[in-house]
Amino acid sequence: MNPMREIKIEKVILNIGVGEGGDKLANAERVLRSITGRKPARTQAKQTIREWGIKRGESVGCKVTLRGEEAVKTLKRLFDGVERRLNKGCFDDGGNFAFGIKEHIDIPGLSYDPEVGLFGMDVCATLCRPGYRIRRRRRQPKAIPKSHRVTREEAINFITEKFGVQVV
């Protein structure tokens, strides 16, 4: 097989949206730190929503971005949290997929702590091929040709073969 056609995981992003700051957000950060071993970054509200009591610029969630071998290792644990089953609708046409985990205690190795509570999270993963750097480089950035992009079917095959995930 051509090494330039090899698919790999570019990044995995774990996101917990709490909707408010304070202790609840601190507990969500503690959950992400226990899953990944990294310090999460806070996310701010983009607009004010009076009915929900959210102001623009207020911290309402947290996220962690993982790359490389660490992303693959964490993704394997997260697939166990959804019983190694994904819906076909989780995949988009650009080689990305996303799924949700209802409660963080579904992930193996994590237990319930009454002080922290239960948190659900979103998991987003981006797949790429060698040569995708041309899109982000500083000099002469170019679009990825259609023939080189990861399609939905290729993404499903990659996840099924590499991680043993059943796509329904």
Instruction: Please count the structural domains in the chain.
Output: 1
Q: pLDDT per residue over 98-133, tens digit each?
A: 999 998 888 888 888 888 889 999 999 999 999 999
Q: Can you read off the two tokens belonging to residue 168?
A: 């329904």
Q: Provide the domain limits for residue 119.
A: 3-167
pLDDT tens digits for 91-100?
Answer: 999 889 999 9
Among candidate residues 134, 120, 87, the one with its CA nearest the CA of residue 16: 120
Question: What is the model's pLDDT at position 12?
Answer: 96
Domain at 135, CATH number: 3.30.1440.10
Q: Are 48 and 58 in contact (CB under 8 A)?
A: no
pTM of the model: 0.89
Q: Residue 149's pLDDT band (boundaries 50, 70, 90)?
A: very high
* Three-class secondary structure of residue 30 per DSSP: helix
pLDDT tops 90 at residue 69: yes
Q: How confident is the model at residue 62 (pLDDT cuts 50, 70, 90)?
A: very high
